[in-house]
Amino acid sequence: MAEISQTAPWREMGLKDSEYELIKERLGREPNYTELGMFAVLWSEHCAYKHSKPLLKTLPTKGPAVLVGPGENAGVVDIGDNLACAFKIESHNHPSAVEPYQGAATGIGGIVRDILAMGARPVLLLDSLRFGPPEDPKTKFLFGGVVSGIAGYGNCLGIPTVGGEVFFAKPYAGNPLVNVLCGGIMKHEDLHKGGAYGVGNVVMVVGHSTGRDGIHGCTFASDVLDDDSESKRINVQVGDPFMEKLLIEACLEMMACGAVVGIQDMGAAGLTSSCAETAARAGTGLVIDIGKVPMREEGMNAYEVMLSESQERMLLIVSADKVDEVKRIGAKWGLHAAEIGRVTDSGNLEVLHNGVLEASIPVSLLAMGAPEYTPEAREPEYLRKTREFSGESVRAPEFSEMKGILLKLLASPNIASKEPVFRQYDYMVRTDTVEGPGRGAAVLRIKGTKKGLVFTTDCNGRLVYLNPKAGAAWAVTEAALNVAVTGAKPLAITNCLNFGSPENPEVYWQLKEAVQGMAEACKALETPVTGGNVSLYNESDGEAIYPTPIVGMLGLCEDIEKRITPGFKNAGDLVAVLGKVWGDARSLSGSEYLEVAHGMVAGDPREPALDLARGIIEVLTECAREGVLSSAQDLSEGGLLVALAESCIHGEEGARGCAMSPKALGCGGREDIRADAMLFGETNTAVVVSFAASNEEQVAHICRQNNVPFAVIGRVQESALAVDTCGGLRVLEVPTDEIAHAYSHGLEDSLRG
């Protein structure tokens, strides 16, 4: 194989020269072309986490409820009643950038199979999406394609899409983010893992036939996007949701009959990764003959079969005596269930093609032998400028301008209702969705119990850009408060770290800081990281995205009948802030207000007060238990006034308004307080709640016990949002209908504009 050294095909496959040398050295010979391809995909950043592994090790991953942490197909958390929840988030950014419909669709397919591989029935999806400015024609194309791809695939599966977020900002224009979270439920005894245990057990491929689609998809995912990327459309896989639906039902039946020893999705790097990873986990080897793999195209060689990323396929390790049972179930669902090999004790992945040896590689080298890099980290230049921000650079608006600003914020596509998106998703199928999209975290009942699962995804990339450590911690606390305002207890997170190229020292610094911020917040809130995904090289034309470490959080509601919702319930209820509203210039840092009203992305967001966040979570769960709150809503983009506006919009008839004064928050006579910062400044350690006046003392008491500041700022009223100054002067009064109109039409108007 002298030609391999001469033509250096590894470079085109995405391997560095040093990595090729390492392969040669460890293998003790030159790899052949097929073997080289297998190394290239498994040693890609996407599969091997070469640049992120040392950092990921610093995240907390253990906790009393964690049944399975990182390393398997998905994390699994105990939710009591002998039930467990498997959940994970994953990115499909690059495929979605060039072929948005299929990119998003197959992103769903992949994460659903990860959950299935744990033995759980997938029961919910959330999508965390980032696009460029809505008025950009390219955004319209990507946005339309991604949303309809999610709808087209997810709706057919019968798995409700219950939540997520959509955020628009310029840095995502050429490189949108499509992160999909899937959750599933199982009994403890149904837990499965991806290990090829038991020498002599049978290796089977179940599901779709294998074609030439998606070859080198994960290599493509590990490179920056450029003008040439459009030509990579051929690397994008094509989804068949009906086939996936059959695969889910068939695999659940196969697992239920006790036939399945190990199971793994054939996603990124297809047969290569699933074979190598299952064998590596079990410390065994595999021998497979790709001539036995059901194929949809003729004349495919070993290289193509091993690297194909054809969708809707699972690798099963089956007890030798249960093979016929698996084949019978496959036939029932009209699926291929083909025997392709056996588990061995060789420690090697041996690939035959109709009996001829095509590749033989130690599985440990393939699956775990990729080098780890700790590149140079350097604080980005831009931070010097963004940190220079001070209140003086922002003109304080007159009170007469506040109404216009509020309506503009509510209509801003980052705050406005995402109904034009989620009404395209079937969010009710399975009849478990108790609180669906559009009102904060999703709440799903668990039939046969009193419990509810609560899920949210969060991350404001603009804040992470301005202060990666604070911003990433902020994503965790925001997710936790989102969960806690329903009355649920945050249990664990899954994360998807979307960053630019780690080979750029400034980007690597962002990644490092963000992981540290996330680790600290997760430790403080006792929400371990049970798994996730890293997506690097998110750059287009040399510009990196906002660093975007998405947090997907699972919470547990002990009694779903006692859940708290965001809308006001009764006129006359008291409205209070729990936590800290700063009201100073620094709280404008990275705020939606600063960008929408002043065109600025600047400042230095505060690191969240983790003790306070923890206290607020305690207060909310206790208040839920006691049933003393009528509503709860956390402060995020748009600050206090937008949070109040949302509680009005979601309010019950006759309780769709609120009159408030920030007086009780301590604004009087303080020089650092500004009205705009009080109303629109952002903090992630505050929530607004409402309750009957008769419950005031109890709520105040629970807050005192947990050292959480408590301030009554107003009352629920019928149909308008009103603000009085500390001096008692009414400076703002907006009918809720007007507020709701801005909120519900904002996104469509922006996309039209």
Partner 1 sequence: MKFGVVVFPGSNCDSDAYHVIKDVIGVDCEYVWHETRDLSDFQALVLPGGFSYGDYLRCGALARFSPVMDSVYRFVDEGKLVIGICNGFQILLEAGLLPGAMLSNNVLEFRCQWVNLRVENTKTPFTCLYEPGEVIRVPIAHHEGNYYAEPEVLEELERTGRVVLRYVDASGNPTAEANPNGAAHNIAGIINEKGNVFGLMPHPERCSESILGSRDGRRVFLSMIKSLETGALLS
Total residues binding partner 1 (CB under 8 A): 32
| Tokens matching residue 164 | 């997520």
Q: Closest distance between partner 1 and the C-beta of residue 217, in Å?
A: 23
Task: List the end-to-end C-alpha distance of the chain, in Å, as a whole number.
Answer: 59
Closest alpha carbon to 125 in 432, 527, 557? 432
With respect to partner 1, which residue has the nearer C-beta, 29 or 450?
450
Q: Closest distance between partner 1 and the C-beta of residue 435, in Å?
A: 10
Within 221-260, which residues bind partner 1 (CB under 8 A)?
A: 240-243, 245-246, 249
Binds partner 1 by CB under 8 A, chosen from 418, 445, 462, 512: 445
CA distance 219 to 229: 12
Q: Is 306 in the site for partner 1 (CB under 8 A)?
A: no
Residues 6+ apart with CB under 8 A from 3: none
With respect to partner 1, which residue has the nearer C-beta, 148 or 364?
148
- On whether the CB atoms of residues 416 and 746 are closer than 8 A, the answer is yes
Within 406-425, which residues bind partner 1 (CB under 8 A)?
A: 422-425
Site string for partner 1, 141-180 (x = CB under 8 A): -------x--xx--xxxx----------------------
Distance of CA 80 to the CA centre of its chain: 24
Binds partner 1 by CB under 8 A, chosen from 49, 101, 427, 499: 427
With respect to partner 1, which residue has the nearer C-beta, 346 or 424?
424
Binds partner 1 by CB under 8 A, chosen from 89, 407, 434, 602: 434
Closest alpha carbon to 114 in 555, 533, 554? 533
- Whether 94 sits among the annotated catalytic residues: the reply is no
Sign, CA dihedral 689-479-561-721, equals positive
Sign, CA dihedral 630-635-637-642, equals positive
Closest alpha carbon to 543 in 224, 209, 89? 224
- On whether the CB atoms of residues 148 and 202 are closer than 8 A, the answer is no
With respect to partner 1, which residue has the nearer C-beta, 335 or 340?
335
Q: Is 433 in the site for partner 1 (CB under 8 A)?
A: yes
Binds partner 1 by CB under 8 A, chosen from 560, 640, 679, 726: 560
With respect to partner 1, which residue has the nearer C-beta, 434 or 550?
434
With respect to partner 1, which residue has the nearer C-beta, 207 or 528?
207
Beta strands in 558-703 (DSSP E): 574-579, 631-634, 657-660, 686-691
With respect to partner 1, which residue has the nearer C-beta, 46 or 418?
418
Task: Compute the CA torsion angle 584, 585, 590, 591 (nearest 10 deg).
Answer: 60
Cα angle 650, 651, 654 (rounded to 5 degrees) comes to 150
Q: Closest distance between partner 1 and the C-beta of residue 249, in Å?
A: 8
With respect to partner 1, which residue has the nearer C-beta, 39 or 333?
333
Name the residue type at position 621.
T
Q: Is 99 in the site for partner 1 (CB under 8 A)?
A: no
- On whether the CB atoms of residues 643 and 482 are closer than 8 A, the answer is no
Q: Is 562 in the site for partner 1 (CB under 8 A)?
A: no
Site string for partner 1, 564-593 (x = CB under 8 A): ------------------------------
Residues 6+ apart with CB under 8 A from 2: none
With respect to partner 1, which residue has the nearer C-beta, 54 or 152?
152
Q: Closest distance between partner 1 and the C-beta of residue 148, in Å?
A: 7
- Whether 92 sits among the annotated catalytic residues: the reply is yes
Residue with tokens 């911020």: 517
In sequence order, the β-bridge partners of residue 686 are 579
Catalytic entry in 92, 94, 192, 216: 92
507: left (phi over 0), alpha (psi -120 to 50) or beta: alpha
Strand 161-168 relative to strand 121-131: parallel, antiparallel, unpaired? parallel
In sequence order, the β-bridge partners of residue 130 are 167, 177
Task: Compute the CA torsion angle 556, 560, 565, 569 (nearest 10 deg).
Answer: -160
Site string for partner 1, 311-340 (x = CB under 8 A): ----------------------xx------
Sign, CA dihedral 738-739-741-747, equals positive
Q: Closest distance between partner 1 and the C-beta of residue 240, in Å?
A: 8
Q: Closest distance between partner 1 and the C-beta of residue 12, in Å?
A: 36
CA distance 163 to 156: 17
Within 447-476, which residues bind partner 1 (CB under 8 A)?
A: 447
Catalytic entry in 46, 51, 216, 650: 46
Q: Closest distance between partner 1 and the C-beta of residue 77, in Å?
A: 23
With respect to partner 1, which residue has the nearer C-beta, 375 or 420?
420
Name the residue type at position 342.
R
Closest alpha carbon to 662 in 649, 671, 675? 675
Q: Closest distance between partner 1 and the C-beta of residue 86, in Å?
A: 19
Q: Is 561 in the site for partner 1 (CB under 8 A)?
A: yes
Site string for partner 1, 661-690 (x = CB under 8 A): ------------------------------
Cα angle 440, 442, 445 (rounded to 5 degrees) comes to 145
Binds partner 1 by CB under 8 A, chosen from 429, 664, 700, 751: 429
With respect to partner 1, which residue has the nearer C-beta, 121 or 663?
121
- On whether the CB atoms of residues 548 and 585 are closer than 8 A, the answer is no
Q: Closest distance between partner 1 and the C-beta of residue 155, in Å?
A: 6
CA distance 8 to 650: 61
- On whether the CB atoms of residues 158 and 429 are closer than 8 A, the answer is yes
The site for partner 1 (CB under 8 A) is made up of 148, 151-152, 155-158, 240-243, 245-246, 249, 333-334, 422-431, 433-434, 445, 447, 560-561
Catalytic residues: 46, 92
